[in-house]
């Protein structure tokens, strides 16, 4: 049963912090502390963390579903503060790497924690951080002063133990637009979608704590046909993902057969999962480091590998990872009969990768699995618990040559059949600062990388500085390092400075400044360009049940434009564009059962020679839990923008394991209602009805999604059964 946060519960901590040097004494008197009662995960915190990370991100460069799933998983399988490594603890959105290192150091110096609130004695673990981190933490060991030292490697559980402790989970999700676009019409004279408008998602999973996982994920997007057609790799559902995974079995840290995700270092060489980019968190998302090999069961159809992967502990500090994958990718392939359309491109080659994962029309279906990638790689890393250094590399082979075409902006895109990459990464604390970085060599002997320093200056201040340089010809096929174009680890240099200040427990000031340069052209931008972005957030908690913040943001970036030369001829040029936004946001938790949330956001967009464009978003959210088994969420939002450039975004609550950050342009109203019914610990039902109504339009959308009328409604249903 999900548990709402208890804003009215007494604050633990500051008033009764035991002094650090007294802790060992306290520990001696505390013979056994029962493990935390198994209560349901705190999905409210997950939603808040996902919202913080995603709501200002224009979701173009990857699917954040993985982030949602990872945080949900973390809340459902909280980390043991007496066993987790610093890197594991730093996966919690509220905990920075320096703070995670302090937690581990504290544990090493003073012994195991007796209770979770003891974390409050650590410098930097403020009430706000503690409250946000708490849902992801547990304490799993009893404290017995006479206990023998723990084994060097976690002993593998017995077959009987695994079988007896398996938890099964079944999820079925059906979503459907109620107002359908032209693609779903019976028009035989034009292209339409091959399948039905429903999205069908099925997931079956068996897990034994964090140590064993068997998973099957099946997904059919709207418009995709539900049929058995091995010719197009369609087995009922369009997308099938499966894995079998073990973790912490003696020396085997991780073993995955099937679909896996591999992320190492800063993500310059290898990072398949999604990572949040710039957000109002300011410091934490920038200081990332890979979590190694993880089983994959998400619905994003591109960002994973398929094969065999393992991490083995050669010694307790030295880890060796190896992975091999062979999977097919979507791509456009030029066949002989189409060469006439684009002279200069050899026949039978792949021109562009297609990453939408949609296979709704014959054209899209033809791109499905058109290219096969064989991928092998490995990683060796040495960790002291606080510091880590590692080497990661891979070699990828495609079954046909990739030719990106002649367009100038594609000049440095990946080309050919093979790519190999190797990188060195590491992080280490030095005084109050932690240094981190990764440098890599890309095909063609091109070097690039990222490096920075983050500091926990005191309980009241943390900061980060990060430099990045990914040259224009730095081809990183599987990288996803920090940058303005979150995840596109090529053609960018920049410097980022971020900070978070707590001048008072009730005030938080955070912000960042990022300046960047794209040394080569980009799509629609015919020159190398520069840009910068700044954000400032002032957050105030006058009481535990009220949070208000004001956020100001400005970004200026050069974009392609037709500019006249001295003779009046129009030439391809670039011109700066600025987008500014000001947001006021308030959260008011009236009681455990009722929460309100309101926002007003104004956007201004301007470009020399063009009229300014403005946008406004206002919304009111209500969350009501009339009964422990019933939770209702509703929103009413009004938006009013002068077109696409001044569009507004609004993160929405959605079904478990999913998220929604719709963007709105034009003028209209958005409403949704979401009900979550959990009659017992095993069953959760969710239903969401959303409707957007635009003013003064005859149709909504374009192309095959063009829908007659001025409204779009969607119905979403999900059932989750755990047993």
Partner 1 sequence: MIGAGPFSGMHTHRPFLLLLLGCLACFARTAPAQSLEGGARAVALGSAATALHDDVWGLGNPAVWATREGRAVSFFASEAFGLSELRLGAMQLVEPTRFGAFALGARTFGFDGFRESHLDLGYARGFSLGTSRKIHLGVRLRYYQVSIEKYGSRGTVGLSVGWLAAVLPKVYAGFQATNLNAPRLAGREEFERTLSFGLSYLPDPRFRLLADAVKDVRFPLSLRAGLEVLPVQALALRAGVTTEPTRFTTGVGVRLSRLAADVAAERHEVLGWSPAFSLSVLW
Which of the 8 DSSP states describes residue 129? H
Q: Going residue by residue from 584 to 623, which x/- string records binding to partner 1, judged by CB under 8 A?
A: --x-x-xxxxx-x-x-x-x-------------x-xxx---
Question: Which run of H or of E encompasses 103?
Answer: helix 97-110
Q: Which of 194, 312, 433, 638 lies at the binding interface for partner 1 (CB under 8 A)?
A: 638
Q: Which of 242, 632, 636, 719 lies at the binding interface for partner 1 (CB under 8 A)?
A: 636
* Residues contacting partner 1: total by CB under 8 A: 28
For residue 606, what are its two tokens? Answer: 């301007």
Question: Which run of H or of E encompasses 49?
Answer: helix 43-54
Q: How far is the CB of 672 from partner 1 (least distance, A)?
A: 13
CB 376 within 8 A of CB 418: no
Q: Does 550 bind partner 1 (CB under 8 A)?
A: no
Question: Which run of H or of E encompasses 240?
Answer: strand 239-249
For residue 654, what are its two tokens? Answer: 């959605």
Restricted to residues 92-111, the positions that interact with partner 1 (CB under 8 A) are: none
Restricted to residues 318-347, the positions that interact with partner 1 (CB under 8 A) are: none
Which of the 8 DSSP states describes residue 519? S
Q: How far is the CB of 630 from partner 1 (least distance, A)?
A: 14
Restricted to residues 424-483, the positions that interact with partner 1 (CB under 8 A) are: none
The count of other CB atoms within 10 Å of the CB of residue 101 is: 24
Q: How far is the CB of 597 from partner 1 (least distance, A)?
A: 11
Nearer to partner 1, 432 or 588 (CB): 588
Residue at token pair 């684009």: 342
Half-sphere exposure of 326 (CA within 13 A, CB side): 2
User: Which CA distances in Å does 561 have to 60, 291, 378, 643, 662?
Assistant: 22, 42, 44, 18, 27
Nearer to partner 1, 574 or 617 (CB): 617
CA–CA gap between residue 424 and residue 426 (Å, rounded) = 7
Greatest CA separation for the chain = 88
Nearer to partner 1, 216 or 602 (CB): 602
CB 553 within 8 A of CB 533: yes
Q: Which of 604, 667, 713, 722 lies at the binding interface for partner 1 (CB under 8 A)?
A: 667
Q: How far is the CB of 542 from partner 1 (least distance, A)?
A: 6
| Cα dihedral 601, 586, 618, 715 sign | positive
Nearer to partner 1, 27 or 637 (CB): 637
For residue 713, what are its two tokens? Answer: 């409604």
Q: How far is the CB of 618 from partner 1 (least distance, A)?
A: 5
Q: How far is the CB of 50 from partner 1 (least distance, A)?
A: 25
DSSP structure string for 569-587:
-EEEEEEEEEEEEEEEEEE
Nearest in space to 355 (alpha carbons), one of 377, 317, 335, 329: 329
Q: How far is the CB of 117 from partner 1 (least distance, A)?
A: 24
Q: How far is the CB of 638 from partner 1 (least distance, A)?
A: 5
CB 394 within 8 A of CB 270: yes
Nearer to partner 1, 73 or 588 (CB): 588
Nearer to partner 1, 308 or 616 (CB): 616
Q: Which of 49, 301, 462, 640 lies at the binding interface for partner 1 (CB under 8 A)?
A: 640
Q: Does 668 bind partner 1 (CB under 8 A)?
A: yes
Q: Which of 542, 564, 643, 679 lies at the binding interface for partner 1 (CB under 8 A)?
A: 542
Strand, helix or coil for residue 226? coil
Q: Going residue by residue from 106 to 145, which x/- string records binding to partner 1, judged by CB under 8 A?
A: ----------------------------------------
Nearer to partner 1, 571 or 697 (CB): 697
CA–CA gap between residue 519 and residue 622 (Å, rounded) = 47
- How do 79-80 and 137-138 pair as beta strands? parallel
Q: Does 693 bind partner 1 (CB under 8 A)?
A: yes
For residue 290, what are its two tokens? Answer: 């890979």
Nearest in space to 67 (alpha carbons), one of 86, 47, 95, 87: 47
Q: Which of 8, 163, 608, 708 lies at the binding interface for partner 1 (CB under 8 A)?
A: 8
Q: Does 691 bind partner 1 (CB under 8 A)?
A: no
Nearer to partner 1, 76 or 621 (CB): 621
Nearer to partner 1, 39 or 594 (CB): 594
> Strand ranges (DSSP E) for 156-197?
167-177
Q: How far is the CB of 636 from partner 1 (least distance, A)?
A: 5
CA–CA gap between residue 716 and residue 323 (Å, rounded) = 37
Q: Which of 152, 527, 543, 682 lies at the binding interface for partner 1 (CB under 8 A)?
A: 543
Q: How far is the CB of 223 from partner 1 (least distance, A)?
A: 30
Q: How far is the CB of 696 from partner 1 (least distance, A)?
A: 8
Q: Does 629 bind partner 1 (CB under 8 A)?
A: no
Nearer to partner 1, 181 or 668 (CB): 668
The count of other CB atoms within 10 Å of the CB of residue 71 is: 24
Q: How far is the CB of 545 from partner 1 (least distance, A)?
A: 8
Restricted to residues 370-399, the positions that interact with partner 1 (CB under 8 A) are: none
Q: Output helix, strand, coil percentages for the chain, rounded to the nearest 5.
A: 15, 45, 40
Nearer to partner 1, 122 or 603 (CB): 603
Q: Which of 612, 695, 697, 721 lies at the binding interface for partner 1 (CB under 8 A)?
A: 695
CA–CA gap between residue 288 and residue 464 (Å, rounded) = 12
Nearer to partner 1, 1 or 31 (CB): 1
CB-count burial class (<10 Å; 0-12, 13-18, 19+) for 461: middle
Q: How far is the CB of 584 from partner 1 (least distance, A)?
A: 8
Binding residues for partner 1 (CB under 8 A): 8, 542-543, 546, 586, 588, 590-594, 596, 598, 600, 602, 616, 618-620, 636-638, 640, 667-669, 693, 695
């Amino acid at each position: 049963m999900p548990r709402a946060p208890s804003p009215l519960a007494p604050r633990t901590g500051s008033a009764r912090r035991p002094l650090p040097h007294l802790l060992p004494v306290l520990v001696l008197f505390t013979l056994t502390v029962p493990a935390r009662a198994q209560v349901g995960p705190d999905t409210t915190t997950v939603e808040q963390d996902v919202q913080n990370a995603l709501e200002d991100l224009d979701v173009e460069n990857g699917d954040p579903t993985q982030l949602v799933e990872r945080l949900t998983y973390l809340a459902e399988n909280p980390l043991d503060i007496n066993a987790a490594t610093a890197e594991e603890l730093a996966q919690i959105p509220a905990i920075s790497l320096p703070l995670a290192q302090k937690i581990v150091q504290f544990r090493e110096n003073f012994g195991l924690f007796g209770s979770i609130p003891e974390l409050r004695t650590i410098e930097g673990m403020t009430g706000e951080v503690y409250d946000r981190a708490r849902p992801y933490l547990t304490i799993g060991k009893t404290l017995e002063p006479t206990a023998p030292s723990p084994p060097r490697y976690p002993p593998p559980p017995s077959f009987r133990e695994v079988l007896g402790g398996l938890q099964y989970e079944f999820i079925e999700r059906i979503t459907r637009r109620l107002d359908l676009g032209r693609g779903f019409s019976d028009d035989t004279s034009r292209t339409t979608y091959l399948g039905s408008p429903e999205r069908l998602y099925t997931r079956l999973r068996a897990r034994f704590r964090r140590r064993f996982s068997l998973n099957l994920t099946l997904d059919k997007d709207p418009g995709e046909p539900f049929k058995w057609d091995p010719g197009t790799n369609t087995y009922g559902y369009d997308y099938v993902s499966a894995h079998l995974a073990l973790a912490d079995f003696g020396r085997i840290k991780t073993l995955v057969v099937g679909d896996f995700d591999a992320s190492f270092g800063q993500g310059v060489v290898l990072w398949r999962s999604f990572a949040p980019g710039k957000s109002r968190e300011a410091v934490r998302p920038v200081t990332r480091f890979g979590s190694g090999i993880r089983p994959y069961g998400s619905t994003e159809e591109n960002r994973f590998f398929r094969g065999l992967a393992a991490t083995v502990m050669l010694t307790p500090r030295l880890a060796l990872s190896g992975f091999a994958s062979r999977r097919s990718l979507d791509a456009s392939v030029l066949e002989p009969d189409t060469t006439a359309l684009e002279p200069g491109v050899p026949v039978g080659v792949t021109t562009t990768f297609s990453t939408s994962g949609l296979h709704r029309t014959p054209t899209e279906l033809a791109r499905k699995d058109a290219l096969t990638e064989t991928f092998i790689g490995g990683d060796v890393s040495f960790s002291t618990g606080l510091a880590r250094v590692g080497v990661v590399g891979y070699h990828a082979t495609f079954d046909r040559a990739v030719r990106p075409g002649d367009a100038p902006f594609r000049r440095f895109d990946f080309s050919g059949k093979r790519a190999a990459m190797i990188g060195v990464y590491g992080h280490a604390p030095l005084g109050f600062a932690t240094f981190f970085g990764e440098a890599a060599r890309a095909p063609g002997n091109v070097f690039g990388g990222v490096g920075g320093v983050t500091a926990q200056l005191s309980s009241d201040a943390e900061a980060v500085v990060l430099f990045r340089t990914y040259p224009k010809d730095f081809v990183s096929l599987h990288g996803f390092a920090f940058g303005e174009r979150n995840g596109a680890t090529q053609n960018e240099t920049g410097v980022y400075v971020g900070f978070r200040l707590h001048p008072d427990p009730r005030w938080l000031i955070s912000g960042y400044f990022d300046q960047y340069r794209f040394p080569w052209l980009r799509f629609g931008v015919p020159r190398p360009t520069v840009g910068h972005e700044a954000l400032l957030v002032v957050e105030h908690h006058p009481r535990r049940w009220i949070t208000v913040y004001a956020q100001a943001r400005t970004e200026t970036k050069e974009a392609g434009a037709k500019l006249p030369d001295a003779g009046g001829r129009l030439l391809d040029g670039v011109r700066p564009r600025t987008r500014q936004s000001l947001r006021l946001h308030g959260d008011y938790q009236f009681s455990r059962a009722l929460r309100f949330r309101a926002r007003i956001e104004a956007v201004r967009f301007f470009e020399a020679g063009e009229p300014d464009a403005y946008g406004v978003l206002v919304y009111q959210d209500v969350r009501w839990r009339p009964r422990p088994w019933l939770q209702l969420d509703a929103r009413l939002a009004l938006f009013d923008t002068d077109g696409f450039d001044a569009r507004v975004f609004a993160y929405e609550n959605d079904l478990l394991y999913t998220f929604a950050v719709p963007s709105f342009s034009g003028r209209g109203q958005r409403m949704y209602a979401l009900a979550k019914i959990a009659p017992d610990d095993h069953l959760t039902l969710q239903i969401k009805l959303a409707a957007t109504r635009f003013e003064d339009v005859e149709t909504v959308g374009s192309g095959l999604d063009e829908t007659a009328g001025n409204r779009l409604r969607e119905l979403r249903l999900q059932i989750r059964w755990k047993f």
